[in-house]
Amino acid sequence: MGQREPVDQNRGRTIFDLVTIGIVISVLTAIHYTNYHYEMNYHILLQFAYYLPVIYAAMRFGPAGGIFSGLAITLLILPFMTRFHAMNPSAVYTQWVEIGLINIIGWLTGFLTSQERRAKRKHQLALTVQKELVEKLRQEGLERERLEEEIRQTERLTALGHMSAGLAHEIRNPLGIMKVSIQLLAQEKVEDRVVSEYCRVLLEECERLNRLVNEFLSFARPKEPVRKRMTLSKLLEEGVALIQPALRQHHIQLKQLTNQLDEQEVEVDQDQMKQVILNILLNAIDAQGERGVIQIEGIRQEGFAGVAFNDEGPGIALEIMPYIYDPFFTTKERGTGLGLSVVHRILDQHGGKITTANRSEGGVRVEILLPLPKE
């Protein structure tokens, strides 16, 4: 409907211009024929008025408009010139010269107008191509910056991974001995409430250190993914099942928007992707606090399919956004700073990608994308 309106308007404008040009030429010609008794100078001066419709026709319709309007005037005025007996040879010559000039100026004006329009179209085309090239260069620049950032991130992860592996290995053995010793002490002093309480606190801290060491090892010694095909819905179902207790504890509702992407298949390591979903949802729960809704939806890009997680938390400060994937960077009081680093590494191993951004309505949107399987 919207495309038809400009076409109809152009057609109406063309018809209006043709009718107007025809009326002006007809009126001027009628004045010639109805005032034949005037002197020839009067008709010569009146003939100058023919330039107006001819020039307008040439400017409006190009060379064809100038030529046809000039020929129409010539055919209309020719009987008057041959039958008007008051003309002397000089006046006849002047009339023919004037008619010739009208035709020449009509064609020349149309030709110059068409050249100008052609040059304008070339200029507009050049501007369009230039804008496309500038936009393409801008996109390439952004992509280069993203790739450079990913390379720097990978280098940081590799260096810190080696360090973490050695550190975790050195800590794990004495930590295990400490844990066993505390358990034995708690069994011997079961009747001493003070010692039992101290032992309980020490065991809790040992468990926390053990979890931290396990995260270090998971980060530092990544397993090669064992891929198998599964649908996004199945992947989400297994990942969400692990987080249900935390959702109930914080009274948070998980809203999953179903769409056709749920049945899209991807090739992933099932255990590693469950860890990805778990880490992202745990971050969303921590940001959400008590109550609220976390929304999950399927997304797709060219060659990729994945999932977006939207929370209703306070968002991420812009000054720390570039560092959220760095190992050991955390704003949580008891956090390790390895959650998103592990997520980034796992997705990188799968050839996928992750993006995190603040939502305009509040909260954070995390998108994970996985490459579509090759048929």
* Residuewise pLDDT in 10s, the chain (375 residues): 555 566 667 788 888 888 888 888 888 888 777 776 556 666 667 777 888 888 888 888 888 888 888 888 888 877 776 666 555 666 667 777 878 888 888 888 888 888 888 888 888 898 889 999 999 998 888 888 888 887 877 777 667 666 666 666 677 778 778 888 888 888 887 778 888 888 888 888 888 777 777 766 666 666 777 888 888 888 888 888 888 888 888 888 888 887 766 778 888 888 888 888 888 888 888 888 788 888 988 888 888 888 999 988 888 888 888 888 877 777 776 666 677 888 888 888 888 888 899 988 888 999 999 988 876
CATH code for residues 227-371:
3.30.565.10
Q: Is 276 exposed, middle or buried (0-12, 13-18, 19+ CB in 10 A)?
A: buried
Note whether 77 and 29 are within 8 A (CB).
yes
**Helix orientation angle between 193-220 and 339-349, rounded to the nearest 10 degrees:** 30
CA 31 to chain CA centroid, Å, is 64
Note whether 349 and 335 are within 8 A (CB).
no
Largest CA distance in the chain: 143
Angle (nearest 5°) at CA 310 between 307 and 312: 170
> Domain map of the chain by residue range?
4-131, 153-220, 227-371
pTM: 0.49
DSSP state letters, 316-334: --TTTGGGTTSTT---STT
